[in-house]
């Protein structure tokens, strides 16, 4: 059985109260008794019982992250990398991280409720927002501190703390890059329509076309699901129906890699007579052949930033929303080809 305050109390002769105060660093304990108690606690290998602390309203020193209901695609490591950044930064600040996914017969939202109303965490991190995001609505109605990676769509109000990478700018940059290389007919493979960033990426593409007096062709835009397979499928669709295309932008790297593979099967030589670009700059992007032109998203670092912010929010309960928009940068590699 683990050591409790009572054990230390007995050993030391002091009351449980005094022991508690000595251990938690109160200043109304004589330094000699504190030293004495500290020594015994150390000998006995005392570890505070976390549940007991929580129970009388203490902080949990725990942050929560819930993985999406349907597992993101097998190859999508967005959440795991984010979680890595979160875990290490949390630990640097004395926090632990509780993670879960929907339990059987429960919704994702139920999991949020379990964490929040079960008082299991001091704050929540929400990632990959979608249109009309019920998780955010719920958290707003609670008084649990939370921070979001991403915003709601541009038509919705994002009245909460967030850190986002400016997807609209990101897609503007790639699109502009391709246009400047001479491309005028550029296909676009978007993610699922209900993801909030889909909206921003689409707008970035649109703006770039606009700014260069190119006509927007809605039929050049399709929706994939962020997987390699959907990159194959959507590229196939675009190349079959619109052979006039000279370039395709996929809104994540896995779809872009799929698109490259399929384009080559269609007889296009990517990086020479056809251009493809991705988004994210995952490790495989630089290894791919041709290497992938893409937009860099520092996911690990975003995890770190989110954590830093959330912890400061927990500490200070700011009255104004902390909203950060990070600027992504274009990484030009072989797949977009030379100037044509």
Partner DNA sequence: TTGTATGCGTTATCAA
Partner DNA sequence: TTGATAACGCATACAA
304 binds, among a copy of itself, DNA, none (CB under 5 to 8 A by kind): none
CA distance 212 to 75: 36
Q: Which is nearer to a copy of itself, 104 or 218 (CB)?
A: 104
Cβ partners under 8 Å of residue 40, min gap 6: 8, 11, 12
Q: Which is nearer to a copy of itself, 52 or 315 (CB)?
A: 52
Q: Which of 321, 302, 315 is nearest to 94 (CA)?
A: 315
End-to-end Cα spacing for the chain: 73
4 binds, among a copy of itself, DNA, none (CB under 5 to 8 A by kind): DNA
Task: Give burial (CB, 10 Å; 0-12/13-18/19+) of 33.
Answer: middle
CA dihedral 46, 48, 52, 57 (to 10 degrees): 150
Q: Up-side HSE of residue 157: CA atoms within 13 Å toward CB?
A: 5
Residue 130 CA to its chain's centroid (Å): 13
| Among the residue ranges 10-18, 131-139, 189-197, 220-228, the one whose residues contact DNA (CB under 7 A) | 10-18
Q: Which is nearer to DNA, 33 or 100 (CB)?
A: 33
| 186 three-state secondary structure | strand
CA distance 127 to 135: 10
Q: Which residues bind a copy of itself (CB under 8 A)?
A: 2-3, 45, 47-55, 60, 62, 67, 71, 74-75, 77, 79-81, 83-84, 87-88, 90-92, 94-104, 113-114, 116-120, 257, 282-284, 287-289, 300
Q: Which is nearer to a copy of itself, 71 or 193 (CB)?
A: 71
Task: Give, for 324, the enclosing helix (H) or strand (E).
Answer: strand 323-326
17 binds, among a copy of itself, DNA, none (CB under 5 to 8 A by kind): DNA
Q: Which is nearer to DNA, 58 or 286 (CB)?
A: 58
Residue 315 sits in the site that holds DNA (CB under 7 A) = no
Find the binder of DNA among 11, 38, 44, 53 (CB under 7 A). 53
Residue 1 sits in the site that holds DNA (CB under 7 A) = yes
Write out the binding residues for DNA, residues 23-42 only, by CB under 7 A: 23-24, 28-30, 32-34
Residue 57 sits in the site that holds DNA (CB under 7 A) = yes
Cβ at position 193, least distance to a copy of itself in Å: 25
Find the binder of DNA among 11, 16, 109, 323 (CB under 7 A). 16
Q: Which is nearer to DNA, 34 or 262 (CB)?
A: 34
Q: What is the DSSP string of 230-256?
A: HHHHHHHHHHHH-TT--EEEESSHHHH
Q: What is the largest CA-CA distance in the chain?
A: 87
Cis peptide before 290 (omega within 30 of 0): yes
Binding site for DNA (CB under 7 A): 1, 4-6, 13-18, 20-21, 23-24, 28-30, 32-34, 46, 48-49, 52-53, 55-58
């Amino acid at each position: 059985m683990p050591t409790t305050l009572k054990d230390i109390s007995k050993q030391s002769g002091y009351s449980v109260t005094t022991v508690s105060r000595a251990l938690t660093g109160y200043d109304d304990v004589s330094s000699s008794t504190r030293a004495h108690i500290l020594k015994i606690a150390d000998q006995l290998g005392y570890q505070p019982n976390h549940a007991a602390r929580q129970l009388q309203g203490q902080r949990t020193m725990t942050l929560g992250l819930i993985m999406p209901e349907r597992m993101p695609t097998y190859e999508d490591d967005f959440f795991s990398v984010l979680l890595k950044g979160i875990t290490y930064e949390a630990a640097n600040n004395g926090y632990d991280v509780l993670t879960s996914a929907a339990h059987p017969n429960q919704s994702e939202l139920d999991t949020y409720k379990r964490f929040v109303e079960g008082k299991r965490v001091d704050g929540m991190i929400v990632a990959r927002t979608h249109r009309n995001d019920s998780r955010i609505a719920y958290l707003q109605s609670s008084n649990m501190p939370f921070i979001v990676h991403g915003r709601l769509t541009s038509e919705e109000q994002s009245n909460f703390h967030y850190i986002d990478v400016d997807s609209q700018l990101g897609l503007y940059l790639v699109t502009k890059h391709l246009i400047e290389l001479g491309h005028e007919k550029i296909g676009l493979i978007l993610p699922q329509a209900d993801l909030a960033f889909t909206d921003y990426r689409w707008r970035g593409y649109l703006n770039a076309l606009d700014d260069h007096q190119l006509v927007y062709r809605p039929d050049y835009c399709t929706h994939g699901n962020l997987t390699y397979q959907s990159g194959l499928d959507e590229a196939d669709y675009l190349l079959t129906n619109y052979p006039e295309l000279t370039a395709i932008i996929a809104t994540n790297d896995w779809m872009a890699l799929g698109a490259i593979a399929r384009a080559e099967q269609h007889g296009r030589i990517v990086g020479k007579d056809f251009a493809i670009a991705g988004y994210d700059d995952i490790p495989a992007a630089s290894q791919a052949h041709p290497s992938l032109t893409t937009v860099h998203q520092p996911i690990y670092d975003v995890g770190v930033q989110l954590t830093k912010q959330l912890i400061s929010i927990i500490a200070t309960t700011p009255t104004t929303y902390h909203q950060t928009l990070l600027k992504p940068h274009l990484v030009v590699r072989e797949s977009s080809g030379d100037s044509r």
